Chain A
Amino acid sequence: EIVLTQSPATLSLSPGERATLSCRASQSISRFLAWYQQKPGQAPSLLIYDASNRAPGIPARFSGRGSGTDFTLTISSLEPEDFAVYYCQQRSNWPPLTFGGGTKVEIK
């Protein structure tokens, strides 16, 4: 099973600041990684697929990069609606599909 480790667990930032979230895989997953955003009381929502492709309707301030074992989600300038929990998910080696433990982006 591929383990995804996200860091940091919590990121405290102000609106307008840049957020950088990390996801590390226990073995190479090529570029088969997605990022999701989850707000309280809601299901996760797809942001990025295949490491760097924005899903339809996702603003350009969200970007993803990486390959192999190290991946990054960057939010270039935080908007109030971006404060949420973010998860990564791999589809390289399944079953099982696996998720990271999440990074909470909170208002400083």
Chain B
Amino acid sequence: EEQLVESGGGLVQSGGSLRLSCAASGFTFSSFDMHWVRQTTGKGLEWVSAVGTASDTYYADFVEGRFTISREDGKNSLFLQMNSLRAEDTGVYYCARVTKWGWYFGLWGRGTLVTVSS
């Protein structure tokens, strides 16, 4: 069964850091571009970042250099290092795999909750 499982969320103070992880199983992880998508109360679903199979990276403007996406294909894992966190970063962070038809999301994890206290 294809699966994505996120971890690493939690409660952090404004200005703090968290490192999210996503463990993939049931498919050839190295063959897919991978993304982080978040869901916040204020903005709904927001695309955060992507990493391609060649480790090329892409970020939403609101990241402003604070987050770093990476992947470790040998461990079937995706990461998001988040620094300088703000209250508006509070939300559920999903790991998502693209489809073979393009950058739509055909497989999602259950999400990990990030809460930034001000």
Interface positions of A (Cβ within 8 A of B): 1, 32, 34, 36, 42-46, 49-50, 53, 55, 87, 89, 91, 94-99, 101-102
A50 proximity list for chain B (CB < 8 A):
101-102
Interface positions of B (Cβ within 8 A of A): 35, 44-47, 50, 58-61, 94, 99, 101-106, 108-111
Main SS at interface, chain B: strand
In the complex, the chain A residue whose C-beta lies closest to that of B62 is: A96
Main SS at interface, chain A: loop
- CB-contact partner of B60 in A87, A95, A101, under 8 A: A95
Q: Is the CB of A99 within 8 A of B102?
A: no
Q: Is the CB of A46 within 8 A of B60?
A: no
Q: Using known A-B contacts A43-B94, A49-B99, A94-B58, determine if residue A99 contacts B104 with beta carbons closer than 8 Å.
A: no
Q: Is the CB of A44 within 8 A of B45?
A: yes
